Amino acid sequence: MVDSFLETLDHPLKPVIERLRLAVLDADDAMSERIKWRAPSFCFNSVDRVTFNLRPLHHVQLIFHRGAKTIEDDFHFDTAKWTGLLEMIGQDRGQVIFPSAEVATARQDEFVALVREWVRA
């Protein structure tokens, strides 16, 4: 399903999206994916945790979350560790924006480490 979706995707940064998709899937064996909100979304224990936002055409944006709705609890995640990569946009939501293919390539290992830590938090 995701492969079919990506085959028809018209986005100037499609190669970056495809590369990051594989990186997220490789980040943890327990990750699965589906199309949600008209974009690839990655689940951990059946809960969406990382989702592409494909609307911006000038950069690649991934939303880090803990499901569709904010969860009111004590979410302990060391955001300071990810300063400069992860921008928090809510209590339990953040975003990573790659402005170019070069930046995505340069920060891919750090991004994968962030995904691993986020999904298990």
Band (pLDDT 50/70/90 cuts) for residue 45 is confident
Band (pLDDT 50/70/90 cuts) for residue 85 is very high
Residue 75 has pLDDT above 80, yes or no: no
Residue 67 has pLDDT above 70, yes or no: no
pLDDT tens track for 96-113: 999 999 999 999 999 999
Scan for tokens 């060391």, then name that residue: 78
* Cα gap 96→3, rounded to integer Å: 23
Q: For the full predicted model, state whether its pTM sits above 0.85.
A: yes
* Cα gap 71→84, rounded to integer Å: 25
The answer to whether residues 117 and 80 touch, using CB atoms and an 8 Å cutoff, is no
For 10, the 3-state DSSP assignment is: coil
The answer to whether residues 54 and 65 touch, using CB atoms and an 8 Å cutoff, is no
31-36 vs 60-64, strand pairing mode: unpaired
**Domains annotated on the chain, with CATH:** 2-120 (3.90.1150)
